[in-house]
Every structure is written in C-alpha cells, then in structure tokens.
C-alpha cells in the first residue's frame, strides 16, 4: 500500500528511507531528527527527495528515474499538524469549508454533515478557533483535511501539543477516523501509547 524508497537530503541531514508496508494505518516513530516529518513532507510533495520513489496504493507520486513529481494539490493529501493551524479570523465552519478549495463538492466522498458528525463538532461551527480547546481545534483540523477529499491522511504528532486529558479525548476520534473513513494513514509519533492504540503497523526510523 505504501511503497517508499527515498534518498533524503535536508542541509547536513542525509539518509535513505525504505518503507514497504501493506498496513493501512502505519505509524512512523523514531528519535527527534530521524527524519519523520521530512518523510511526511516528501509524501505531501512539500520536500523534494534527492532521488527515489513514492507510491501509495499503486499510484506513483514521485519517481526520480521516470521524471514523475506530482504537484502537491494533485497528490490529494490531507495533512494534520502538531498544532491545528486554523485561520483565526474565520469560523469553524469556514475553516472546514476552506478544505474544499472552493469546489461545490456534491459528488465528494466526504461531505460536511457527515464529517461534522464523525468528529462531534456540530456545536462548534459558529465559533472562532480562539474559543476552542486544543483537542477541539485538532478535530476541526482533521475535518478540514477530510473535506479536502484526500486519498491519504498524514498526521504529524497530532497529540503532542495537548495535555493528557485532551489527548485521551482526541484518541477515540482518531480511532473513529481510522475505522470509518478507511483511508491510508501515516501517523508520526514519539509516543508508544498512541502508536499502539492507533496504528496497525509501526515503522521505526533510527
């Protein structure tokens, strides 16, 4: 499902990463500086690998030998970061709909009402991000990612800016997204506990 063979270079950082994994939900772990975020960014097309290949479900996103480098918007990647990165001056509803990039979207696989129900954010729609808890903001960020109609979801330590109670609150929603949405997911985390509770398989970058 996820087939990566990359030579990465970021300043002085250089490493080869090989991941061939059938599991639909893969955790990427490893120490700080191992290159986890760089791998996510390479999948998203935000970092250009020095060489190699990235394919997801048989769809090639990057292949240096074949001259393939699909531009980010056409990679259909939903990306959720450590912090929610919502637009502070827009309502939750407007933040969610921003993920649709202006398309009308009646044929879309992920519709606003279903995503709002899945993530339990119906009562938050008219609020501004400043009035959300960290966990609520992350649920909205996940919703925005889904409404961009992704083919894969990338999570970069989505729990790391939350306290313990907020983390416990968010994990069941991540599990719901995993089980009900059934997209491929790559989940970066330092923490054994959430990796065990969320991922089907673990790949460690040392």
Ligand X SMILES: Nc1ncnc2c1ncn2[C@@H]1O[C@H](COP(=O)(O)OP(=O)(O)OP(=O)(O)O)[C@@H](O)[C@H]1O
Residue closer to ligand X, measured from CB, 80 or 115: 80
Q: Which residues bind ligand X (CB under 6 A)?
A: 10-11, 13, 30, 32-38
- Which stretches does DSSP call E strand in 22-151? 25-29, 51-56, 59-63, 68-69, 77-80
Residue closer to ligand X, measured from CB, 38 or 95: 38
Q: Minimum Å distance from CB 9 to ligand X?
A: 9
71: closest CA among 58, 80, 63, 61? 61
* CA–CA distance, 43 with 54 (Å, rounded to integer): 7
Residue closer to ligand X, measured from CB, 17 or 97: 17
b vs e for 1-13, b when ≥16 Cβ sit within 10 Å of the residue's Cβ? Answer: bbbbbbebeeeee
The residue nearest ligand X at its CB is 11
Q: Minimum Å distance from CB 152 to ligand X?
A: 18
Residue closer to ligand X, measured from CB, 46 or 125: 46
Q: Give the rounded distance of the alpha carbon of 185 from its chain centre.
A: 7
Q: Give the rounded distance of the alpha carbon of 112 from its chain centre.
A: 18
Q: Minimum Å distance from CB 17 to ligand X?
A: 10
Q: Minimum Å distance from CB 190 to ligand X?
A: 6
């Amino acid at each position: 499902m996820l087939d990566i063979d990359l030579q990465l270079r970021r300043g002085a950082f250089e490493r080869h990463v090989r991941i061939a994994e059938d599991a639909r939900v893969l955790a990427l772990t490893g120490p700080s500086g191992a290159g986890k975020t760089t791998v996510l960014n390479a999948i998203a097309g935000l970092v250009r690998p020095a060489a190699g290949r990235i394919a997801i479900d048989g769809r090639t996103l990057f292949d240096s030998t074949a001259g393939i480098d699909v531009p980010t918007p056409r990679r259909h990647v939903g990306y959720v970061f450590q912090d929610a990165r919502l637009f502070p001056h827009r309502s939750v509803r407007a933040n969610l709909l921003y993920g649709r990039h202006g398309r009308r979207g009646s044929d879309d696989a992920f519709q606003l009402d279903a995503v709002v129900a899945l993530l339990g954010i119906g009562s938050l729609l008219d609020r501004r991000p400043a009035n959300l808890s960290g966990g609520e903001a992350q649920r909205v960020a996940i919703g925005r990612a889904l409404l961009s109609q992704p083919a894969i979801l990338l999570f970069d330590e989505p729990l790391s800016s939350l306290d313990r109670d907020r983390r416990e609150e968010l994990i069941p929603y991540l599990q719901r997204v995993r089980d009900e949405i059934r997209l491929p997911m790559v989940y970066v985390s330092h923490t054994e506990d959430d990796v065990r509770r969320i991922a089907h398989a673990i790949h460690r970058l040392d």
